[in-house]
């Protein structure tokens, strides 16, 4: 397995957090491998350079094959990914609010389904980029191709507002900042902040903050399987373990112990660098 995170071009850092390449070859596996994906606060653009993956929404049992390019807005459901035999995926992880600036459409509009075909939202250029990625002779050159695609669209970005410098603080501070603090830093009233926040993120601020903390708990367990849920609850600043369990039931649909068993049996690791 190969997984590498890359820093985006300096001109992209205002709206792009990271670029990740993930490759696994499953030709020697007798069974189809799968790995769990939690609800996450990160908005992403994906390119499937080789085989497509199948995805199952656990909350609805809906199954479908992913498009070659994919845009994921607010990810509020738990999924199971079943990658193709020749799996090579590139992910652009946007800064909070970055996908709104990139697309220019309210993020709440992306809540009607889990993901959108990149061609539907960005046109045939997405197919051209995928073709270029297939022809690239190194992972680093793939990263440069994605950089170039994003740089070509910098001039079309929605203008930056003070709130765009505030939103990344919710990730940095693990969702623990108070709304009135954030609104003050964004030079907005609380009511104005909530309206602009939902436009850029797709979720109300309090709901998003809880999703950030839940994602931190999941990722911590994934990266440190030996750590107890009690310790995770403390590290993530939950009032107690019952509050952590409540969030898992809301966002993942099951208790933490079920997720622990899923992570232990998963043969593929897909680590997230959201909180680095």
Distance separating alpha carbons of residues 35 and 238, to the nearest angstrom: 27
Within 13 Å of residue 91, how many CA atoms lie on the same side as its CB?
A: 22
pLDDT at residue 190, rounded to an integer: 96
- This prediction's pTM: 0.93
Which residues fall within 8 angstroms of residue 72, CB to CB, at 6 or more apart? 43, 44, 45, 46, 110, 114, 115, 116
> Is 208-265 in CATH node 1.10.10?
yes
CATH of domain 2-156: 2.60.120.10
pLDDT tens string for the chain (276 positions)? 889 999 999 999 999 999 999 998 887 766 678 888 899 999 999 999 999 999 999 888 889 999 999 999 878 889 999 998 899 999 999 999 999 999 999 999 888 778 899 999 999 999 999 999 999 999 999 999 999 999 999 999 999 999 999 999 999 998 888 999 999 999 999 999 999 999 999 999 999 999 999 999 999 998 899 999 999 999 999 999 999 999 999 999 999 999 999 888 876 666 677 776
Distance separating alpha carbons of residues 95 and 72, to the nearest angstrom: 13
Distance separating alpha carbons of residues 47 and 51, to the nearest angstrom: 11
pLDDT at residue 30, rounded to an integer: 61
Cβ atoms of 167 and 208 within 8 Å: the answer is no
Q: So where are the chain's domains?
A: 2-156, 162-205, 208-265
């Amino acid at each position: 397995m190969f997984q590498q995170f890359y820093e985006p071009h300096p001109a992209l850092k205002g709206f792009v957090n990271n670029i990740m390449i993930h490759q696994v070859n499953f030709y020697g596996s007798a069974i189809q491998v799968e790995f769990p994906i939690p609800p996450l606060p990160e908005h992403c653009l994906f390119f499937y350079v080789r085989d497509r993956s199948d995805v199952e929404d656990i909350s609805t049992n809906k199954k479908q094959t992913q498009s070659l390019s994919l845009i994921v807005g607010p990810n509020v459901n738990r999924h199971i990914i079943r990658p193709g035999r020749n799996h090579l995926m590139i992910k652009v992880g946007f800064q909070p609010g970055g996908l709104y600036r990139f697309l220019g459409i309210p993020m709440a509009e992306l809540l009607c389904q889990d993901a959108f075909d990149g061609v539907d939202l960005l046109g045939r250029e997405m197919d051209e980029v995928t073709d270029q990625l297939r022809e690239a002779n190194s992972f680093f050159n793939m990263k440069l191709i994605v950089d170039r695609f994003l740089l070509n669209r910098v001039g079309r970005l929605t203008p930056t507002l003070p709130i765009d410098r505030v939103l990344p603080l919710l990730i940095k501070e693990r969702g623990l900042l108070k709304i009135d603090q954030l609104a003050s830093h964004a030079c907005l009233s609380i009511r104005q902040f909530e309206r602009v926040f939902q436009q850029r993120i797709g979720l109300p601020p309090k709901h998003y903050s809880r999703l950030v903390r839940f994602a931190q708990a999941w990722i911590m367990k994934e990266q440190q399987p030996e750590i107890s849920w009690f310790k995770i609850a403390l590290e993530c600043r939950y009032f107690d373990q019952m509050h952590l369990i409540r969030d898992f039931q809301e966002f993942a649909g099951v208790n933490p112990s079920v997720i622990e068993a899923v992570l232990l049996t998963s043969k593929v690791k897909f680590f997230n660098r959201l909180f680095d």
